[in-house]
Structure 1
């Protein structure tokens, strides 16, 4: 269309020039006639006079002919130029109309093709997601080993088919020039680690070592499209694992240095020790449907679209993709991508403490298996659930319940509902004052880039792909329900709750770090934390604690003082020297008896609190609430199980936990051996540490004689008086032997 318009403008310009040149011809002809007449007059009467000029004109017919010819040619030229321009204009109009009709037809065909792919992707993904969702539910039941293997195969096959459909849909978007990217803030490390975790089992099954290395200068949070970044990484990692039979696969991420103040360029590599690629195959590796030859395709399967899509995605993110490989010696696939830096360092708040029990929920989904699976999961969380299969009926139910005691607190709607789409349903609900405060979440099996921004403006609180993994459902619902009561402008600024914002919430400063060298104490504290709804990272010594606190944001650090390399107080001192906000992280000391000197030193280092070992679960829960550490697990309010009764002091008849007993016996045996060596070499510091740990771990089993003997040895070691330690060591060994025998019998 643009070329025809340009051609038309050129022809009009040509017509103007032709008219101009014809006019010039008239001027020249007129001058020629005047000069000719004057010359004839001069030769006829020997002078240029008016009478001579009249005589020349009246007596010389040939001169008249000469005079008329220029004017005739000029007139013909003018007519010809106008005729030519008119015909050209008609031609351009005809071609323009033909092209317009062709473009209209092409747009219709392209739209029809896009609509077809969108519809088919939904129709195909919906039953596949149902298979995956129902497989998850079946896997949570009691199955035989053979049944579990069969269900795993079903789920794996469905996931593979879903990947194939996603590839074909992406490729169709690329061909149509409709590839779009999101622009949201995300946690880069979480994105990379989730990608690696997704394929870890696949690598482990082949005996491969799968590792990821992220350089320390790579920013933690960026703005861009995490889904597309993750898609490229998973594609490259999946290929590396597929074509590697032994050795390792390493994912590395580094920042490319540039002078941009608001953008970051990343360089990502996936190196493997696989079969490698010949130079000939490398030349056409990123072409559609190419997979390194027919033999490779037959042996390893796949569509050959993954690398083509990855190339387009990398280029869409202002980057490139390439490969370095030698046949038989492995490959290194790399790509670069550009992301924006966040406007400011934003800490995504964890969802408020929301009780999901008793909430009234409506599930609107036209796919029956998917609806049943979701309803069962919601009921398991204690919700009152109703379900419906079409949008118009769902809207009637929401309006009928509005204003009554049976109104819906939460509505989960499928994007492609029959009769009334999920988006249209949301607009209707948000447009009515009686239903406007309903929390809306949209579920889709065929999400499109740009959906999130539009749905956020409509008033939806959450946007998730189908099916929501059962392990994430509780967290997702707590997060969306936390938006209830928020000002609408504030909610829109915060944005939709998605899987990426959930990742950010998991990495917020509500994370815990447990620093404890005793495996028994770690196991007990982790179980306590788990039953209170928390999870924690582990550091087994002081140096590991300092390193973890340097690179991660923690809401609270639980720190043992007696550690094997550097003491707890030394670790706290190192953390307090950090210049960032991480240096001010609240620290709670765990101790079975700190000295006055240790206590005073901890106070000067701004230690927040002291918890005495053995730690009571209620005391621990109160401490975590005081420091506003929000639980993130569905078990947040669950009571401690009977198996942990042995870990709670004051119980008359503890019920030992089998795993805990096993860990205790193994650790206590090793620490007693280490204590003997320390006493033999007069190593008071080591002896004090081992005795301290034995004292605290034995307390959980209410072994008073063992605890007393260990405490006595610790006191002797602290004072440097080990001369009389052997008799006390013998008492400790005898007490341990009695405890071990009683635990084994139970």
Structure 2
């Protein structure tokens, strides 16, 4: 659009210059021929108006073109009227016709056509300046006039053709843009769909790895999990690339702790280097403000992309990570520098690395694979955050990437307190000769010196074992740091030193723990940088004796926290409540928006989890009514949206509405942990210092009922392991499945009734709930069928619903029957001590119950239900069918209880009739 406007502006400028020349010619002629003074004055005013319209950009382009054309035609007409001959007038008129054609507006040719006709009529009829008496007269007069009309026609046709070509180009461009958008949307949607099974496979692999396995089996499962992670990275790249291309990628600025960010980045760098002989060297400034405001997730994404690229193309040597900052008026410029000793990049390839789907020198690098998305995505994200990313490189030497991102400061306190007074004196022995590259030696020395300065602790660096032993004999030090190479030089000496001193610390790789023979020696895992070193100096260690650098992996509980979960599906409420137990959070549940609003009036919750799609009052309407309530609490309480609709834009839609955050259903443990940690007040969170993330994972609770587990694993309608992932434990999964069994018939009839009544709004809501609730327990086939019907309902594709609804209900019936085999009792067990009755008696009791319903007496209703529990009909025990009726009575849902009871009795009697037949 800007390019088109600029092109029109340039065209108008050229036309203006030519018009001014033409006005000057006519003004000069008028003055020379001594015409009335008003004529050149009028033409001068017209010329001035043309200039003013252009310079001031008055009116739009087409209107200015019409005004300028009319003005110049008026001048031409005045000029021709006062000129005694028609010949001299034809030439400037033809010039104006061609000039006006540059406007690319075909209708403008009407004005010079009218002007030419008027001029010819005036000279031929009124002025009679020419007569046709001979062939020469025809040639001298009519040929120029005829040529003028022909030029007029040619210019008009030229404009029409150009406009048609322009419109065709616009049409093709629009189609290409639509195709591009469709491709991006398709890529984004497919990527989102791929992510779900990948997460399931990864989660199942994690569960399997917790069991005792053969070494070969464990290796295979670990390879599966690793492949899932790599595939997840590719999918994330596809999604982000698509979002960045379509302008849908958003930066979400929130408060975060920079020390946690640094630890995550360092751990990532170490994890991806695997068995490569690469040293990870970290140099972090201790004075960076501890809490910043920005998009931490995007920042880590950028740095991880660069680190991944550095590790990919560095076979040996080192990767240096430097984290620093510079204060600015708006906060700080946070900087990350990643330097490697890899293959490097040629100068002419430097810009290519930021182009998508591109790997420079692809033949040499093909063994590393990849789509070439990482660096282009990194630069796009950095630029969107207002930062810059630069690269310097030399082939065969290595590359250096520097990322600078502006961040606001939430807390000015540095990550390492200036008041921290550590009484320590360190003796370190690091044999630099073990590194054949001089760059590794230099970087290690610089990092150690900076660390010593940052924490204000002296470090005496020895270059050989003899110097180390000599210093130990001369002076007492508080801490002794060595690496495994130095330890292996004289194991007995360092073991004896550890017996005499509690602070002998060996820096090792994570697979080298068994090489340390003395239990007295403290093992510090690489990479060695400011946070783990500081904790080692302060004497903070875990049970295994390995120093830990961050609280990022600690489990937490919040027994004083109180949350409300709102969902119309009881199963989803059960799942959410079960997941909250991990964190000891007190949980209330509500089955509708109206119920939630009543509960919020009488209780102060720390977080409200609100389902999106609910009948009567959906989540957004409930949220709006909540925020309209008078009082600070109602305006500020964190509200988290819950929805099974995880298509692109869902999160942005909820955040724009005012929700604090968004959780997709089924709820994943890691996502829930993040939300709870973010929005529960800090004073209510209790960190457990001795529990790491590995032990925090939700280990399945083994129950005594192994028969039920065997049934679940053997059945074909449920993915037991996926259910375990989403429900958090076997115990919670069994409870949720029990609830599905109890509520299944009622939900089945809700869907059928909505379909029979063609109530498509509620039909979509019911199948939407079925989609998420079934997926949360691993009943994937039914969940997938419900999802397709939900999409059809939203698109008003009634034909699809009509063709597939019966299949959905049939599959749902199969699931209910399967659950009955697990939780229901056999007829011999349930009917042994029951009274057999007939259909007439049951209908009589049902009518009695309906009469009591209108009296609104719950006690009498329960008496009728208890009476019915003593009966069986056609060999079917009623007790198993009445659990949902009791719940409705407890919830004061009396009319629904009466309808449900009538439906149950109809089913039992109908089933008996079928058997009789």
TM-score of the superposed pair, with normalisation by structure 1: 0.47
